Structure 1
Amino acid sequence: MQNTLCVTWLGRQPYRPVWELQHTLRRKRAAGTIPDVLLLLEHNPVITMGTRETSHEILLSPQELASRGVEVFKVERGGEVTYHGPGQLVAYPILSLRHHPRSVKKLVHHLEEVGIRVVARYGIEARRDPRYPGLWVEDRKIMAIGIAIRDGVTFHGIALNVHTDLEAFSWIVPCGIRDRGVTSIARETGQQLSVEEIARAWEETFLEVFGYRGERVPLQELLEGEVQPAEE
């Protein structure tokens, strides 16, 4: 029997409430009161820093960032500095590794595989680089990955550039890599696809790669515990 994955599309959201939401759902998943969850959304402009000290990789002053409406957060995911903003698909999988064992390495590999298959639908050949997690089109990064695990449950996730304003990446040293570029589906194809369309492709492909049975669930049902826990 396939495990159930509850999928929720949140639309465009500020960063902090969704970060807090991940922790709420993570705790519920660790307690076994909800199934695994996949959050799909796009963020308002924000720069996040991972567990390494990377404040020097933010190239604009706090005042310059504020004038552009960009927030900055230090968070507990792996990786270094990255940018989230409109036109970028963000996917946060809240998965129990205790009940559905898979190594962190395999988890990252699966997330990369989802990305490879999604962009291939639009004629883009993305590849892995063993030195850097994420996906690349030649020497241009199209998808970033940063995962955290607490109490055996994953949170944080991936950011796939759909039609993101790539100029924003010049405000930072993306993922600490100075000698490579950044790209998007729009840049590579000339197509202005919606983030929601790519989210549907991501959902379908995620279910296929991870072997889940998907169920679209309103967020409020998850928060109120109205979704039956997965059979472990």
Structure 2
Amino acid sequence: MEFENRQNRPPACWWIDLPETEYGKALNIQLAILNAKITGRLEADVVLCIEHPRVFTLGRRGGRENLCVRDSFLARKGVAVIPTDRGGDITYHGPGQLVVYPIIHLSRRRLKVVEFVSGLEQAMIRTAGRWRIDAGTDPANRGVWLKGDKLGSVGITIRRGVSFHGLALNVNTDMEPFGWINPCGLDQVRMTSIERHLGHPVPMAEARQAMAAHMAQVFGMTLTTRSAEQLYEEIEFWNY
């Protein structure tokens, strides 16, 4: 699946590699980009590539009912639970998980929401294919699957035609915290990772590079690498 660019002059798209960042700060960065795009201060689309410290996030459908451990247990483990306005249910983020937040003006690229979500799934499938992993989709459930186990998740929000939130691909992720929830609200779903499937970890830098290449291929975008500092200056984000 590739989406041809449907405009005469495609908007720029910046690829921003960020270090491991607290979920709350990453959300504030997304919202600052979103506001800059909605108000017209930022023309370029932006794709953030990031990892988070351990955290559970809740989607618009909620998800606390799918949390299988007590808050006191999570407090001892140092794992926060944060409500969000993305689609979906509860999910886990942590080190070794590749998280990508595309803040993209879908209407200007003439992308429908359904095909955008499908494109995010394809980018994860192709990234897993870098290690000859034959992942795929499930007609009944969103995300990316491998032999019945879930390898990657998608949850987005659209505001004024601009997407935010995004995808999470388990690369070298610690699987234990997934056992503390019903992932994405699905009972008895087993999560997996590239590392678990291969029997050894893979370099996260290679996973980031592969994801950038496949995002560009799937959506027909030219990604230009910018530093975090350049982005923050452009969107006037001073909380860093």
When the two structures are superposed, what TM-score results if normalisation uses the length of structure 2? 0.91
Where in structure 2 are the equivalents of 1:8-87 lying within 5 Å?
Answer: 8-34=16-42, 35-87=44-96
- Counterpart of 1:214, as a letter, is L
Whether the 8 Å CA contact 1:40–1:89 is kept in 2: the answer is: yes
Whether the 8 Å CA contact 2:182–2:189 is kept in 1: the answer is: no
Offset of 1:33 from its aligned partner? Answer: 2.5
Q: Within the alignment, does 1:4 sit opposite 2:12 as a pair?
A: yes
Corresponding residue number in structure 2 for 1:193: 202
- Counterpart of 2:190, as a letter, is G
- Deviation digits for residues 104-150 of structure 1, max 9, x if unmatched? 10001111111111111101111111221100001100000000111
- Deviation digits for residues 202-223 of structure 1, max 9, x if unmatched? 0011011111111111122223
Unaligned stretches of 5+ residues in structure 2: 1-8, 236-240
Moved more, 18-27 or 190-199: 190-199
Offset of 1:197 from its aligned partner? Answer: 1.8
Corresponding residue number in structure 2 for 1:164: 173
* 3-state SS in 1 of match to 2:154: strand
Corresponding residue number in structure 2 for 1:230: none
Whether the 8 Å CA contact 1:42–1:195 is kept in 2: the answer is: no
Q: Percent identity?
A: 36
- Deviation digits for residues 158-187 of structure 1, max 9, x if unmatched? 000001111110111100111321100001
Between structures 1 and 2, the one with greater strand share: 1
Unaligned stretches of 5+ residues in structure 1: 227-232
Whether the 8 Å CA contact 1:3–1:213 is kept in 2: the answer is: no
Offset of 1:91 from its aligned partner? Answer: 0.3
Tell me how far apart the structure 1 counterparts of residues 70 and 98 of structure 2 sit (CA, whole Å): 26
Offset of 1:152 from its aligned partner? Answer: 1.2
RMSD: 1.4
- Deviation digits for residues 64-105 of structure 1, max 9, x if unmatched? 101111011000000000000011000000000221121110
- Counterpart of 1:52, as a letter, is R
* 3-state SS in 2 of match to 1:11: coil
Whether the 8 Å CA contact 1:92–1:157 is kept in 2: the answer is: yes
Misfit runs of 4+, over 3 Å: none
Corresponding residue number in structure 1 for 2:117: 108
